[in-house]
Every structure is written in C-alpha cells, then in structure tokens.
Amino acid sequence: MEVVGESILFAALEVLFGKLACPDLLKFARQEEVIAELEGWKRELRMINEVLDEAEEKQVTKLSVKEWVDDLRDLAYDMEDVLDEFATELLRRRLIADRANQVATTSKVRSLIPTCFTGFNPVGEVKFNIEMGSKIKAITGRLDDISNRKDMLGFNMVPGVEKSGKRFASGAAPTWQRPPTTSLINEPVHGRDEDKKVIIDMLLNDEAGESNFGVIPIVGMGGMGKTTLAQFIYRDDEIVKQFGPRVWVCVSDESDVEKLTKIILNAVSPDEIRDGDDFNQVQLKLSKSLAGKRFLLVLDDVWNIKRYEQWNQLRAPFKSGKEGSKIVVTTRDTNVASLMRADNYHHFLRPLSHDDCWSVFVEHAFESKNVDEYPNLKSIGEKIVQKCSGLPLAAKMVGGLLRSKLQVEAWKRVLDSNIWDSSECGIVPILRLSYQHLSPHLKRCFAYCALFPKDYEFEEKQLILLWMAEGLIHQAKGDNWQIEDSGTDYFNELLSRCFFQPSNNRKLRFVMHDLINDLAQDVAAEICFTLENVDKISKSTRHLSFMCSKYDVFKKFEVCEQMEQLRTFFALPINIDNEKQCYLSAKVFHYLLPKLRHLRVLSLSCYEINELPDSIGDLKHLRYLNLSHTALKRLPETISNLYNLQSLILCNCRELMKLPVDIVNLINLRHLDISGSTLLEEMPPQISKLINLQTLSKFILSEGNGSQIIELKNLLNLRGELAIFGLDNIVDKIDVRYVNLKERPSIEEIMMVWSKDFGNSRNESDEKEVLKLLEPHESLKKLTIAFYGGTIFPRWIGDSSFSKMVILRLKGCKKCTSLPALGRLSSLKILEIEGMNEIKSIGNEFYGEIVNPFRCLEYLAFEDMPEWTDCNLPDCLACLVKLEVEECQELTISIPRFPFLAHLIVDRCNEGMLKSRVVDVPSLTKLYIEEISKPSCLWEGLVQPLTTLQDQGIIQLSLEEQGLPCNLQYLEKLPNALHTLTSLTDMLIRNCPKLVSFPETGLPPMLRNLSVENCEGLEILPDGMMINSRALEFFKITYCSSLIGFPRGELPTTLKTLIIHYCGKLESLPDGIMHHTCCLERLQVWGCSSLKSIPRGDFPSTLEGLSIWGCNQLESIPGKMLQNLTSLRNLFLCNCPDVMSSSLEVFSTSNLKTLTIANGKKQCEEASICPEPPHTHSIASIGLQTLISLKVLQFTDCPKLRSFVPKKGLPSTLERLVIKGCPILKKRCLKDKGKDWPKIAHIPYVEIDDIVQQ
C-alpha cells in the first residue's frame, strides 16, 4: 500500500541530509574546524527523522506536539541558511582563486596563491568565521532542545510496522478516511445530464478496444461529483437493461489485486467464495462467472492502482466477458486513468454552472420549503454558492449545514467566515485526502502555491523555477536529466491529480480551483502568505507574495520589517506578457530589502524601477531574481556576487542597455531571459563560460571583437527559446557550422535576425549560406526569420519534416522574390508574412503543390507588401479562424467562404479587397475595415451580410484620409436596419463628416460600447435612439463640433460611462443624468465651450468620477450637489472659474482619492490635487493630511508656490506626486538635491516637469 500522510518535514530534512553529505562542504568544514558540530547535527536529525510521521499525526490533537513540529520546521530552515552560507563562501573563494590562476603567468606566482581557496582577505575571513561560529552554536543549542523535547513527548514508533495510515500503536489520530460508497443514489442530480448522455453513449457502444471490455475513466478533483455521476449512470434504466451483471466496488486506498479480485467475485457470485482459495483460484472463478456476459463494473475512487503489472493482473478475468462489457473508473488521478484506458480518453468533470450549483444548495438547505418565501436568505445564499466555485460537494455540505437554520444572522455568519475550515462542513478533509496521498516533496511544492491568490493564472516554467530556487526539487540524477526535468515531472504529477487545471482563458496557463487554493492556504499555515492576508503573517512566515498596485507606498510593506528570515518576496503577476506599469516606493530598496538577507526569490516585475542599489549584491542566498518589465538601464555590477543565482529574468526591460561585465561569475546561472530588451546591443564577455545555461533567450552578435556565433558552441544545454540577433555581423561562415542547431532538439523556438539596414555592406550569397547552415532540428515549434538579405530561402524552410512547427513568421525580408513552399507544414497554426517588398504573386508553389495545404492553419496575416498584386487563396483552409491583410495597396483578392472564419481585418488596402463575398461569411463575428483607399462598393453590400454576425460581434468603420473619394465621406444617415444587428456588442463610427443623425429606430439591443468620433456634421441624437438599448454600458462622443443636444428622457439603466469631448456647440447635458433611474458611474465633459448649465436635480448617487475641463461658460455647481455624492472618489475641475469658486468645500471629504482644481490653460492629464490660484505662496495649511484616502497630488502652473508639505506630513496613502510649471517647488523637490526631497522620497511616483524622479 502506498504511504499515506508521510510528513512534509521528511523532504525538508532530506535536503539537510544532502547538504551535510556534500564532500566539498565537509572538507571546508574541517578547514574551518566545525566538522564536529555538523556531524552532530546529522546524528540528531536522523533520530528526529524516525518520529516525524507520528508527530505529523499527533499534532492535530496535541498542541505541545504541534509547537514541537513548528519549532523543528523553523530550525530546519535556519540550518539550511547556515549551510548555504558555508557553501556560498566556499564558492566565492574558489572563484577568486580561479581568477588569480588566470592572471598568474609563472609557476613562481602560482606558488604564492593560498591553497585554501582564498583571495586573500584575512579580515573578511576572520569576520566570517566569527559570525558562522556564533550561528552554529545557536543552531546546536536549539537542536539539543528539540531533541530533549522529543523524548519528553513520548513518541513510540513501533519497529517494523509499515508506514501507512494504520502504523501507530501510540494513540495518534488516524488519517481521515472517506466513507465507503455504494451504488445507491438518494438525491436528485443537477447539471450532469450532458455528462451522463456522453458516458451512456460510450457504454452502449459495442466497440471494446483491445479486449472484450472497454474502460471509461471519469476524472476530476475531489468533491466534483464523480461518484454521484457514476451512481446516476449505474441506475439508468437503459444501463440496467443492457448490462448484467452490474458490479459496484469502492476501491479507495486498496492496491492489493488479490483482495480486489475477491471483492469483485463476491459481488458477482457470492456462493463461489471460499476462505482457503488462493489468488489463482479466485481469478479462475471470476473469469468463469463473467464468461459470455456483458458486465458493467464500476471501480469507484481509485487511488493506488498505478503500476501496469497491477492493472494487468486485475483485468485478466475480465477478458472472458462478452464483447461490449464496460468498466467505469472514477479517480482524481489522470495517471490512473491513463493506465487503464489505452487511448488516454478521460471524461473530465468540470465545475457546475452557478444555477446548477444553486439547485444543489437549495436541495439541501431548504429541502421541501419554497426558497422564494425566504428572499433575505436567498440573496445571502446566492453569495454563499458563489464561494462554492461550482463544486457540488461544497454546495451540498454547506447547504446541509444551514438546513435547520433559517435565521438571517446564521447565514451571514457562514457567508462572512471561512466555512471551509469548519469541522462541521467536512469539505477540507475530503480535499485534504488528495494532499495526504502526495509524496513529501510534492506536498512542499503544492504548499508553496499558497502564494498565488485565487484565480491567479501561472505558467509551468515560472513555477518550476520558483520551486528550484527554494530547493523544493530533488537533485536530478543521470547525465542528461536536469533538475528542470524533475520539476516538470512534479508539475505534471500535481496536474494529473487535479491540484492544477488548465486555464479557460489562456493557453499554457494554469489555475487552482478556489477550494484547492483554500487547501494550499491551510496546509501552508504560517509559512506562505499573500500580503493581502496581512493579519495572519508572523515572524515564522518564510514566503510572501503580493499583487502589484499602480502605486505601492511603503506603508504596504511595513509588516515585513520584522520578517528578516523571509525567503520569498515577489510581486504578482510575474507573467512574461504582463504589460502592467506600476511604481514602488524607493524606501523598499534602500531600507527593507537590505534587511531580508535570506531571500532566495525576489521579483519586482512590472515596477518602473530605473536603478537598483549596490546592496542587492549582498543577498547571497538569492537564486531567482525577476526584474522584467522594469525601466532599468543597467544592473549594478554587484549582481555578479550572487553566486547562487539560477534564474535572472529581464524580459521586456526596454531601457536595458548593458549587462554586468562579470556576469560570468554566476556559474550556477541556468536561465537568463533578456527577450524584449530592445536597446541591449552586446553580450557581456565570456558568456560562453556559463555552461549551465538552459535559457538564453537572446544572443547578440557584435561587430569587431564582440560576441561571435561560435560562442554558442559551448552552450550545449540550451533549450526552449533562442533568438540570434546581428547575423549580418558573422565574420566567418564556417563558425555557423559548429553551432550545429540541427542536433539540438531541446531548442523549440528560434528567431534569426539580421540588421534592418540593407546597405551595400550586406552580402547576399553569404547570408543565404548562413541561413542554410542555421537549419534547426526537426522538433522546432516556432520560427521567425527577420531582415534576411537573400533573394530566396533555403529548402529546409517549409520542408515537411518540420511536422511539429506551429508558428512561422517571415518579417522584413525585402529582397526575397518568392516565398518558400509552406503549405506542407502539417501542424502550422499561425503564419505571418510581413515586409516582403519584392513579392508580386503568390501561387500554387506557396501551398506546396499538395491537395490539402495548411490543414491546421488558424491565423493568416499579410502586411506591408506594396508590390503584391495577385493571390489565389484556396478555399480548403478549413481551420482558418482569423485573416488579416494590411498595407497591401495593389492586391486584388477574392476571399473564399472559409467555414470557420470569425475575425477579418482589412486595413490600408484598396477596394479590390472588398469585392465579391468579403463579408458573406456565415461564421464571421468580428469585422474591421480601415483606411480603404476607394471603398465605393462598401456601404451598399455591407449591412445585410452583417446580420450574420454572431455573439461578441464587433464592427469598426474608419476613414482616416478625408481627401479620398469615398461613400462614407458623404454618408448622411446610418441605415434604419441598424437595430436588427441583434448580436452586435461594440460599434465605432469615426471620420464620417457628413453624418447628421442616427436612425430613430434605435441602436442594436445588445450593444455594450458605442464610440462616435470626429463626425463634424452630426447635429442631433434623436429621442428614440436609445429606446432599444438593454446593454449599453459605455457611450463616448468626441470632436462632433455641430452637436447641439442629446436624446430627451431617461438614459439606459445599464449606462455606466458617459464621455463628451470637444463638442463646441453643445449647450446642455442630457436630462436623463439627473433621473432617479440613472446609474451612471463616470461622467467626463471636456472642451465644451458653449456648455452653460447642468440639468436640475441631483447627480446619481452611484457617481464615482466627475471630470469637467475647459467649459468656460459653465455656471457654478452647488457644493451640496457634490457633498451628497457619497460614492464620489475622483473629482476633476479645471479651467471652469465659476464652478471652482463654488466647490472648494469638497476638500473636507475623507473618501476623495483624486481631486483636480486648476486655473491653468493646459489640459490636466491625471486626476490630481492642484492648489488655490497661482499667486498662492503656501498651501501647507490647507489640511492635506486630513485627506486620509488621498492617493494623487498634483500642482500645475503655480510659479509663486513655495511649499505644500504640512508639518504633520503628507497622507501615508499618497502614491503619486506631480509638479508642473512650479519653478520654486521644483527646486525644493528635486531628487537628492531639493530641501523637501527627504519629505517626499517615500512616495512611489514623483514627477517634476515631465521627468520621473522615481
């Protein structure tokens, strides 16, 4: 039987045993005279290791044992830190010695180099020895105390007893066991009708596969309803009719094939069972009992049948059954399902819909009562069901908990508390069972995932690198087996057991179900936290994550000041494609990080950091450093002192110009990601010495004495993505041959880039030969070739042997006169061709002259091909979903009726692109037509085919060049049939100067977003315009200089945002704003110089943002109107004199986060606080410190303003300070120079005259 409940501390101690057995470390310990202490540690830990399983069980019921386990865990962390410091010092001394050896030129000099790996720095070494001696002594004392307490706690491990859930005779609490299941079902089943239909169809299908019987695995996380679905099917009338015998076996932890065979025989033929029968006799009897019968066997809750030998023995008697027999297996583990079903078909159960989950909840919470009679409970219950996240077991359990409680207070307590932690609920024990079946190493890896908040999407590689940095992955064994490969196995194991699941939003991303996330939080107690759970964080916390905010003030991190043992400090999200731009208080770098000297993981991704302090080099334990998406121009040279660093992530550092010169010191570096660093022009010297590199996303070839391509020869461990820039700088073509990409199957993505400069120095024949020699391995999945200077491509591009290639991009190859035969790439899904100036025609040779080219192609794009005139697109592109044609002005093409084409973009082309059936595609959901030079055919044939647009339909019509003859230029009225586009959700109407009105028949009923831009002739919006609108949320109208008024009457209750910009003749806002049904949240009116008044009444109480700028004639707004806006967070008043003079009293509101009051003539781009009129000398007394929610403060065009900081300081919530046109303030606030800089240095973002100070 598999070990269940094995202590997570086993893995932690195993790491220590590995370090204590390291020969180099032991040799260094002898030299430093601490070997006796380390040997003593090893002995004590081995004795402690013997009682860990028992302690893991007893800590549930005995507080003294839990305290002992917690202290042991903390000690293990601290011991590992000390051993790491030893190993790091040893590594440092060796590197210094190696460097000295390189400098030494004679044997005489070499003889002077000390043999103890030193540089030589006797003062530094004495200091190290003193510090380490003190730490070792403290650790030894703590270890002795834990050993003594172990004896006092009376652990009594019974010798020789197998490690399992029943291994103790000492009274320790047994592992929770799931009650056995039966085939009976005593409640309605909700939301599984489609699953039932699919499985019953498979059961009734006579196709049996490799034997007379077929296997149907039902897979899902605990509580998803696998057993319920199996019961549902087992009792179906047609199944009862078609199968006999039917057998239900609850397998659970059982892995003994002989016992399982006896259970099945007892169910089929109970009279055949004899106590003395051996395994052979039992199997023969079962085979005979099933002979010629079409049986159905349900193996429920299978955990431990994981070896092929087990399954092969168990299934042997089933082969005598009649063809069409079936076995249904329910399991949480896809590995079990794959073992039993040869073709790997698994029926995965997904979470229930909210409505179905609500039905389950109602069934158990209200029983026979009418839920509508309890409206207050119903509203609370709906929110409780949301917390169930589609898990039927959760809905059932919490519903049962509330079954006899019909008081609102009781339901609110359940809603507000973490009910899943309650012993009454019973959900966590069921989910924890999956956790208990994990090995200790997987338990640690899963617990680490508590750092991810709910619904956070993560990537496999990211998580593996974090596990590596924390030492959670076993050291790899074997020459070709890397620690990353072990990490992949760990990840896949957790994925197969449903701890992770693929994201529904993005490919190659994963998430944890909300309740699995709760389980991770539970098992990682006191160790892993997100900063959002600040109330639970303690000094024992070792791993901390936090979500980036736009501006992060130091106050957010104050709790970390006492957490000096912290190992993980990382900002989320850390995804490579994250484009979030955030700002961080400099105090975090200069004050907090130097305290966190035990960090192994540090991520400050997405912060606009332009420099790092040299103290970053003191974080000697650091293994993972992520500075991606930052504004760093260069890294401090002290980065080269981080000898343990494994991963340096610098992707999309668009300002980065240089890497540290001595980066070669990072001999443990395995992953260097510099993709997207567009200003980086050279590699550091001797990069080829980093032979452990697996990720080198970008390699730059330099002119002269810089890096050359032959350096890639020694980097034999590269895998994943490789981009080679500057291929035009290759001096000797023969060097390319030594790189030998054709023999590197681990490199799956390659980008080959020449210079954009096609000057006379380029040699066409050399480049052709280089590209020929760069032929990659056939396992390549993605290929990009950019700015290649040859006229033809080598034959390997497009060869059918590249059967795994999914993405191909050809970009800026201006001299190529023909395209390779790409149609033979059988797996190609994305093809982009751009900047091919000499291509005039694309014919059958492009398709590879085969019957079914591009059989998997989903996305096809052509861009910037000025000479391309002719192309015959085959109508056999059966998988094509998205087609883009941009900047192909000479192209005349007929777009076939592709069966699945959903997204079509035609941009900067001529009218030939719009002939024939351009929009006559039944599957089309999104259509973008922009900058068509002569679209005379467009409007007449457009509207009727657009009625085929399906869900999420979008139309975008645009005319950028007003001088071109075009029907849109003379369009005066939109068609009356507009309201018939019942699936249209987004509409943009732009640059239609003759358009004077909208149809009175109304807008499309499901339209959510409407934008009208630069329609100079638009005068009125008819009263019936919004009569049909049931979904409109966003309405923006800009640069419509003739617009006089808006529709009268109520606005749609769904409307949240109304934006009006530069409508010079507009005199009044829509009356519907003040109607009691209005739910507007954001109102923005800019540059409406004729606007005189706001309708009478009160603003909607839902209003959160009010922005009025440049409305010179607008009369005052009574302050009472603003003070009544309890939801108001953002108020922007600029260049509206009368309004400003009546509204200053709103300064007193404590809810206001951003406020702009300015007299300047320039547009204020950010919501902010501006001062009283510009002659003011000081506003320090205005009471800024009372604005306890204030986040943004701005001063604009105040030349005489001298000060603004109150004596008590600015609000601690302040995130952004902007000063423009204030010369005196500028002088006082400049970074490191101004008198007031120390008072504002803690603010994450400070900008003075458009220059960011930090």
In angstroms, the CA 297 to CA 317 distance is: 12
Lowest mean pLDDT among 515-524, 742-751, 999-1008, 1181-1190: 1181-1190
pLDDT band at 275 (very low <50, low <70, confident <90, very high): confident
Burial of 1007 (0-12, 13-18, 19+ CB in 10 A): buried
Residue 706 has pLDDT above 60, yes or no: yes
Residue 717 has pLDDT above 70, yes or no: yes
pLDDT of residue 1123: 60
pLDDT of residue 822: 92
Residue 968 has pLDDT above 70, yes or no: no
pLDDT of residue 3: 39
Token representation of residue 248:
């239900």
Please state the rounded mean pLDDT for residues 682-690: 90
Residue 295 and residue 243 in contact, taking contact as beta carbons nearer than 8 Å = yes
pLDDT of residue 834: 95
Lowest mean pLDDT among 32-46, 102-116, 453-467: 102-116
pLDDT of residue 389: 86
Please state the rounded mean pLDDT for residues 574-597: 83
Lowest mean pLDDT among 74-83, 605-614, 698-707, 1156-1165: 1156-1165
380-417: b or e for each residue (b if 16 or more CB lie within 10 Å)?
A: bbeebbebbbbbbbbbbbbbbbbeeeeeeeebeebbee
Q: What average pLDDT does the chain have?
A: 82
Residue 525 has pLDDT above 70, yes or no: yes
Of 965, 964, 1017, whose CA–CA distance to 989 is shortest?
1017
Strand partners for 810: 785, 833
In angstroms, the CA 1050 to CA 1072 distance is: 4
pLDDT of residue 581: 82
Please state the rounded mean pLDDT for residues 48-54: 88
- Residue 368 CA to its chain's centroid (Å): 44
Please state the rounded mean pLDDT for residues 854-874: 88
Highest mean pLDDT among 396-405, 701-710, 1051-1060: 1051-1060
The tens digit of pLDDT for each residue in 186-236 reads 778 899 999 999 999 999 887 655 678 889 999 998 889 999 999 999 999
SS3 content of the chain, % helix, strand, coil (to 5): 35, 15, 50
Residue 426 has pLDDT above 60, yes or no: yes
Residue 578 and residue 462 in contact, taking contact as beta carbons nearer than 8 Å = no
pLDDT of residue 104: 59
The tens digit of pLDDT for each residue in 346-375 reads 899 999 999 999 999 988 888 777 888 888
Burial of 186 (0-12, 13-18, 19+ CB in 10 A): exposed
- How many CB atoms lie under 10 A from the CB of residue 507? 6
Please state the rounded mean pLDDT for residues 908-914: 69
pLDDT of residue 962: 31
Question: Angle at the Cα of 994 (from 988 to 1000), degrees rounded to 5?
Answer: 65
Lowest mean pLDDT among 447-451, 579-583, 648-652: 579-583
- How many CB atoms lie under 10 A from the CB of residue 1156? 23
Q: What is the DSSP string of 827-860?
A: T--EEEEE--TT--EE-GGGGTT-SS-STT--EE
Under 8 Å CB-to-CB from 525, ≥6 apart: which residues?
none
pLDDT of residue 237: 92
Residue 963 has pLDDT above 50, yes or no: no
More confident residue, 525 or 149: 149
The DSSP bridge pattern shows strands 1245-1248 and 1216-1220 to be parallel
Residue 967 has pLDDT above 50, yes or no: no
Residue 217 and residue 340 in contact, taking contact as beta carbons nearer than 8 Å = yes
Lowest mean pLDDT among 100-104, 860-864, 1029-1033: 100-104
pLDDT band at 155 (very low <50, low <70, confident <90, very high): confident
Residue 834 and residue 863 in contact, taking contact as beta carbons nearer than 8 Å = yes
Q: What dihedral do alpha carbons 181, 186, 190, 193 form, nearest 10°?
A: 80
Strand partners for 904: 883, 927
Count how many Cα atoms sit within 13 Å of the Cα of residue 61 in the half-sphere of its side chain. 8
In angstroms, the CA 572 to CA 452 distance is: 8
Give the start-end residues of each E strand in 1116-1158.
1130-1134, 1154-1158
Strand partners for 603: 570, 626
Please state the rounded mean pLDDT for residues 1125-1145: 61
Under 8 Å CB-to-CB from 989, ≥6 apart: which residues?
957, 974, 995, 1011, 1012, 1013, 1015
Please state the rounded mean pLDDT for residues 1210-1227: 85
In angstroms, the CA 640 to CA 400 distance is: 60
pLDDT band at 952 (very low <50, low <70, confident <90, very high): very low
Under 8 Å CB-to-CB from 535, ≥6 apart: which residues?
none
Please state the rounded mean pLDDT for residues 929-933: 67
- Residue 785 CA to its chain's centroid (Å): 28
Lowest mean pLDDT among 157-161, 570-574, 584-588, 959-963: 959-963
Token representation of residue 76:
């293990």
Q: What is the pTM of this model?
A: 0.80
Lowest mean pLDDT among 527-536, 939-948, 1116-1125: 939-948
Specify the 3-state DSSP secondary structure of 919. coil
Please state the rounded mean pLDDT for residues 1207-1227: 83
Specify the 3-state DSSP secondary structure of 727. helix
Please state the rounded mean pLDDT for residues 240-254: 89
Residue 825 has pLDDT above 80, yes or no: yes
For the chain, how big is the Rg over CA atoms in Å?
35
pLDDT of residue 539: 80
The tens digit of pLDDT for each residue in 1081-1092 reads 999 998 888 888
Q: Express as a percent the part of the chain with pLDDT over 90.
A: 35
Lowest mean pLDDT among 753-757, 1032-1036, 1085-1089: 1085-1089
Of 384, 387, 380, 390, whose CA–CA distance to 355 is shortest?
390
